[in-house]
Chains A and B, each alone.
Chain A
């Protein structure tokens, strides 16, 4: 566990001594502000629903760019060899890296807290809904980080890993929209279930449904497991 903690701290340190974390935070906050203003103007109500929905999609594109360095870069620098010959179990390495992405996301979401506060000055937002919306976003972050980690383990070229992450995640966004094109009810259902929007939507109206929580947890675990397999197989090739 202490190894996972060391990895966790190292990842965050590397992000914060380089421009990555700041560019990432800046880009995300800019988008959040844009969505906030647009949402309020369009609906004219003290709700953050539009912002949260747009943010979840933005995360899908941004998170792979954050996680792309994880394994690709370690491989390129030769530090992967170091980690695999230091007494660090692979699960601790994965956990540390994944938790670091999640922690950066949590900070990000915390900073967007300024928008609900602004809303509170002029209106009367529903704090319960806002809290569940944040939970939904955090679950998205976990899922996307895990997928990004996976593609990062496939390539030692960070750019390829980042774009690969977006490509892997895209179907999980589009599936819901594509559902109405399918002329077969079970197929439609399946596509809707595949889309993360289906599962994040209930959070934005204040509902915490364990089946949706489970979907995100499963998604994260599935990709962490794939990452684990992929990293293991790397050594055999």
Chain B
């Protein structure tokens, strides 16, 4: 994992309070509140259809909220919509391109709409095209571009006017792995001085780019906070993985209860022997152990005392994906029961 961007804690630039959006009878987004700071990439994550895009659209002012409000760069999204539009760069889920135009003429059009002075336009367009890996592509017709290139043009369009706030809806979809690395680097760069809200369903993207994230499912925020805090929500106590061998194969079943009896250990779960590092032909058994502290010395001592062979013992990194499924699953469950929406 790459190092997270510089610490957040700058001024609050985007603030959403109780956003709610109905489409007829359907409540697509309900009571969504969050904050994003300067110098931060805020992850907005959830399964498809969770309300991410609707939330993004309300923050950019494209969709008026049924209830609640959003303030971006000090301006109310609804009351001062034009001021917000000037300060936000937005990459919608589908890059907004005119298939008939060339990349160059399209970006000229965007620059003009964005009010970039005529004298600065060419230079700025050149800079941005360089940065997203489009240099030399001015004359390509947008309609003939592959998904990855369309995405780059979409990103170029969003950053052209050097906005204070960037809202990116699935910015790396359709890119190949090398391009993904490039674009992530670019986004990280952008976030140094700005505020980026990154909506995605790809967890590893959030892990690589964000320190904080908002988890959304069925239109509601189910959790938000630093990634560490989100992981901790599922990892009550830390997990360890241990591989042991009993000298007498017949007595294997003793191992788990004996470890479980240790004061330091909360729970022991035998894993599938096929998961052992070198297969189970040597008779090693893998276990997963949960403990509030670090039980490793105690386990080592026990193993020595009992004459077991200890082959591996490691702390398992908390897994955001697991946290995500855990939180989303739990919330979805209670909601289905509670409201029957």
Which residue, of A6, A79, A86, has the highest number of chain B Cβ atoms within 10 A?
Answer: A86
Give the residue of B61, B93, B113 whose beta carbon is less than 8 angstroms from that of A6: B113
Give the residue of B64, B96, B112 whose beta carbon is less than 8 angstroms from that of A82: B96
Chain A residues positioned under 8 Å from B96 (CB to CB): 77-82
Closest approach, in angstroms, between the C-beta of B19 and any C-beta of chain A? 15
Chain A residues positioned under 8 Å from B157 (CB to CB): 82
Quick check: is A184 within 8 A (CB to CB) of the other chain? no
Quick check: is A236 within 8 A (CB to CB) of the other chain? yes
Chain A residues positioned under 8 Å from B62 (CB to CB): 81, 84-85, 235
Give the residue of A6, A81, A88, A237 whose beta carbon is less than 8 angstroms from that of B92: A81
Quick check: is A46 within 8 A (CB to CB) of the other chain? no
Quick check: is A106 within 8 A (CB to CB) of the other chain? no
Closest approach, in angstroms, between the C-beta of A90 and any C-beta of chain B? 11
Give the residues from 102 to 120 in chain B that come closer than 8 angstroms, CB to CB, to chain A. Answer: 105, 109-110, 112-115
A84 to B220, CA, bound (A): 26
A78 to B109, CA, bound (A): 16
A79 to B112, CA, bound (A): 16
**Chain A: interface residue total (CB-CB under 8 A):** 27
The answer to whether A78 and B113 have CB atoms under 8 Å apart is no
The answer to whether A78 and B101 have CB atoms under 8 Å apart is no
How would residues 64 to 82 of chain A score, 1 for a CB under 8 Å from any chain B CB and 0 otherwise? Answer: 0000000000000111111
Give the residue of B57, B94, B95, B114 whose beta carbon is less than 8 angstroms from that of A86: B114
Chain A residues positioned under 8 Å from B57 (CB to CB): 81
The answer to whether A78 and B85 have CB atoms under 8 Å apart is no
Give the residue of A6, A81, A87 whose beta carbon is less than 8 angstroms from that of B109: A6
**Chain B: interface residue total (CB-CB under 8 A):** 30
Quick check: is B82 within 8 A (CB to CB) of the other chain? yes
Chain A residues positioned under 8 Å from B195 (CB to CB): none
With known contacts A2-B115, A86-B113, A13–B85 Cβ distance under 8 A: no
With known contacts A77-B98, A79-B98, A81-B92, A87–B113 Cβ distance under 8 A: yes
Chain A residues positioned under 8 Å from B100 (CB to CB): 13-14, 17-18
The answer to whether B23 and A237 have CB atoms under 8 Å apart is yes
Give the residue of B23, B85, B97 whose beta carbon is less than 8 angstroms from that of A87: B85
Quick check: is B131 within 8 A (CB to CB) of the other chain? no
A17 to B110, CA, bound (A): 18
The answer to whether B90 and A77 have CB atoms under 8 Å apart is no
The answer to whether B82 and A82 have CB atoms under 8 Å apart is no
Closest approach, in angstroms, between the C-beta of B5 and any C-beta of chain A? 25
Q: Which residue of B lies closest to A82 (CB)?
A: B96
Quick check: is A10 within 8 A (CB to CB) of the other chain? yes
The answer to whether B61 and A14 have CB atoms under 8 Å apart is no
Chain B residues positioned under 8 Å from A168 (CB to CB): none
Quick check: is B88 within 8 A (CB to CB) of the other chain? yes
Chain B residues positioned under 8 Å from A13 (CB to CB): 100-101, 105
Give the residues from 1 to 54 in chain B that come closer than 8 angstroms, CB to CB, to chain A. Answer: 23
Give the residues from 1 to 37 in chain A that come closer than 8 angstroms, CB to CB, to chain B. Answer: 2-3, 5-7, 9-10, 13-14, 17-18
Q: Which residue of A lies closest to B106 (CB)?
A: A10
A237 to B24, CA, bound (A): 7
Quick check: is B63 within 8 A (CB to CB) of the other chain? yes
Give the residue of B86, B95, B105 whose beta carbon is less than 8 angstroms from that of A78: B95
Closest approach, in angstroms, between the C-beta of A78 and any C-beta of chain B? 4
Chain B residues positioned under 8 Å from A88 (CB to CB): 113
Q: Which residue of B lies closest to A84 (CB)?
A: B62
Q: Which residue of B lies closest to A78 (CB)?
A: B94
With known contacts A10-B98, A18-B100, A85–B88 Cβ distance under 8 A: yes
Quick check: is A113 within 8 A (CB to CB) of the other chain? no
With known contacts A77-B99, A78-B92, A82-B157, A87–B64 Cβ distance under 8 A: no
Quick check: is B60 within 8 A (CB to CB) of the other chain? yes
A88 to B92, CA, bound (A): 17
Chain A residues positioned under 8 Å from B92 (CB to CB): 78, 81-82
Chain B residues positioned under 8 Å from A82 (CB to CB): 90, 92, 96, 157
Quick check: is A187 within 8 A (CB to CB) of the other chain? no
Chain B residues positioned under 8 Å from A89 (CB to CB): 82
Closest approach, in angstroms, between the C-beta of B43 and any C-beta of chain A? 21
Closest approach, in angstroms, between the C-beta of B98 and any C-beta of chain A? 6
* Chain B positions near chain A (C-beta within 8 angstroms): 23, 57, 60-64, 82, 85-86, 88, 90, 92-101, 105, 109-110, 112-115, 157
Could you name 13 residue pairs across A and B whose Cβ atoms are closer than 8 Å?
A: A9-B112, A10-B98, A13-B101, A14-B101, A78-B95, A79-B96, A81-B57, A82-B92, A82-B157, A85-B85, A86-B85, A87-B85, A235-B62
Known: A9-B109, A81-B90. 17 other contacts (CB 8 A): A2-B112, A2-B115, A3-B113, A6-B109, A6-B112, A18-B100, A78-B93, A78-B95, A79-B98, A82-B96, A83-B113, A85-B61, A86-B113, A87-B115, A235-B63, A235-B64, A236-B64
